[in-house]
Amino acid sequence: MITLLLATILCAPCEPPRQDPPNILFIMSDDHAWQAISAYGSDRNVTPNIDRIARNGITFDRYYVENAICAPSRAAILTGMFSEHHGVPTNSEVFDGAQPTFPALARESGYQTALVGKWHLKSEPVGFDHYERLIGQGPYYRPRMIRNGEEVVHPGYTTDVITDLAVDWLEDGRDRSKPFVLMVQHKAPHREWMPGPDHLEDMVGIDLPEPATLFDDYTGRGSASTMQEMTIKDHLRPMDLKLEMPDWMMRMTPEQRAAWDAAYEPRNEAFRALELTGMDLIRWKYQRYAKDYLRCIASVDDSVGRILDTLEAQGLADDTIVIYTSDQGWYLGEHGWYDKRWMYEESFRTPLLLSWPGVVEPGRRTELLSQNIDLAPTFLEIIGVEAPPRMQGRSLLPVLEAADDAEVEDIGWRDALYYRYYESQGPHKVPKHEGVRTRRYKLMVFPELNEVELYDLEVDPDELHS
């Protein structure tokens, strides 16, 4: 405390004093690949507003999830525990909101807490003064939502609706006498990748770079990678490619539908006229899928920009920790795949960017191993609440306060991470597996197949040779 007071006094001429404790703004998208963020070196898209967080804060280059699927990851973030302990190992279980979560503990300590957007835990949010959640997965247009127990319908594009709700709460909904935790949780860019009205024409007439492993034949590994049903070649549906759109997907106003048809009908007619086959057809599918996915991300990036601008306009920017992350990573054509679930890097590794004015060195990057179970104990330590002993993650506060990784390693840091995927005959037929990742090696065990895969990530970063 004395150190903090001295720092405030000494820095008074150069920067305004920070609120103590800080606000926490947590922004999470759904299935956002780290390789689709320009701060992570994307060669396919730019994310200027997400990059603002990186520029003003820290980028985690080795941040991972403990189970790369939606509900388990969300429960891990809330509870700081692995799937077998928080009770949601797959998307089928109901989350028990009575267990300790960081929003509930923050609320008990005097924070005002709010959530807008995707919840996806089969139970009502607990520990929030205010929430407005999507019903289930939620559509991309005209979403139905539950606001503090009551159903409402919004006419807009879901990413924009969630952004409006967050901005409205920051401007008019919060108690200005309290610090806050605001969780903004987007549906996008989850399948079926329906772009918003502002980005329907993005990337028309250009070809995106193809990943080096787009035509992976899965040799050099065990049998697990040959059993999946998530290839761009064989498993994207006509509605994924916008060639057929069922009524349940087209929840649009007449104006929205007219803009959609004007964008897609000419492109679809041109595709059908080509009568593509073989590798040419796979390449077309990749381009259509990847562009729609990245168009959805463009709307998320717009959202981040609007929310950051609102923080500045409300005089909150200097007193607010801003986090951007995803519930897991994603395959954007690597290994010929879409989707997630695997312990291979593209879905296991996840974006995490965090800014904290006056604490985190702007523009810093860290390669220390971190995981989504670390977020809850981190937030609790920041706000001065002791994490329950049941939480299994490790606070990242030493990483945030350090000038570089060496400073943290001097006091000791983890050298391995654990992963486990529980489904077997679920969607996409990815076999059950678990494993351990160190900074250099990855060991994966497939118990049902009686197979083990081992990768040296320094010499084989694409994980092609076990």
Which of the 8 DSSP states describes residue 210? Answer: P
d(CA 17, CA 148): 35
pLDDT of residue 12: 38
Per-residue pLDDT of the chain (466 residues; tens, 9 = 90+): 334 433 443 343 333 444 579 999 999 999 999 999 999 999 999 999 999 999 999 999 999 999 999 999 999 999 999 999 999 999 999 999 999 999 999 999 999 999 999 999 999 999 999 999 999 999 999 999 999 999 999 999 999 999 999 999 999 999 999 999 999 999 999 999 999 999 999 999 999 999 999 999 999 999 999 999 999 999 999 999 999 998 887 889 999 999 999 999 999 999 999 999 999 999 999 999 999 999 999 999 999 999 999 999 999 999 999 999 999 999 999 999 999 999 999 999 999 999 999 999 999 999 999 999 999 999 999 999 999 999 999 999 999 999 999 999 999 999 999 999 999 877 899 999 999 999 999 999 999 999 999 999 999 999 999 9
Q: Which two tokens stand for residue 281?
A: 């057809």
Q: Report the C-alpha gap between 266 and 257 in whole angstroms.
A: 14
- Report how far residue 195's alpha carbon sits from residue 289's, in angstroms, rounded to the nearest whole number: 11
pLDDT at residue 8 in the model: 40
Query: What per-residue confidence (pLDDT) applies to 6?
Result: 35
Say what the pLDDT of residue 425 is: 76
In the chain, where the domains are located? 22-197+285-414
CB neighbourhood size of 416 (10 A): 12
d(CA 22, CA 444): 40
Rounded to two decimals, the pTM is 0.94
Asked whether the CA dihedral 238, 241, 242, 245 is positive or negative, the reply is positive
What is the predicted pLDDT for the residue at 35?
Answer: 98
Distance CA 458, CA 339 (A): 25
Query: What pLDDT does residue 52 have?
Result: 99
Pairing mode of beta strands 451-456, 112-117: unpaired
Sign of the dihedral defined by the CA atoms of residues 296, 117, 365, 50, in that order = positive
22-197+285-414 has which CATH code?
A: 3.40.720.10
pLDDT at res. 2: 36
> Which candidate, 428, 429, 419, 427, places its Cα nearest to that of 449?
429
Tell me whether strands 112-117 and 417-421 are parallel, antiparallel or unpaired: unpaired
Residue count (the chain): 466
Radius of gyration of the chain (CA): 22
DSSP per-residue string spanning 320-333: EEEEEEESS---SS
Give the pairing type, strands 144-147 and 23-29.
Answer: unpaired
Q: What is the 3-state secondary structure (H, E, C) of 386-428?
A: CCCCCCCCCCCHHHHHCCCHHHHHHHCCCCCEEEEECCCCCHH
pLDDT at 16: 42
Identify the helix (H) or strand (E) that includes residue 150: strand 150-153
The reported pLDDT for the residue numbered 251 is 87
Work out the number of other CB atoms within 10 angstroms of the CB of residue 463: 23
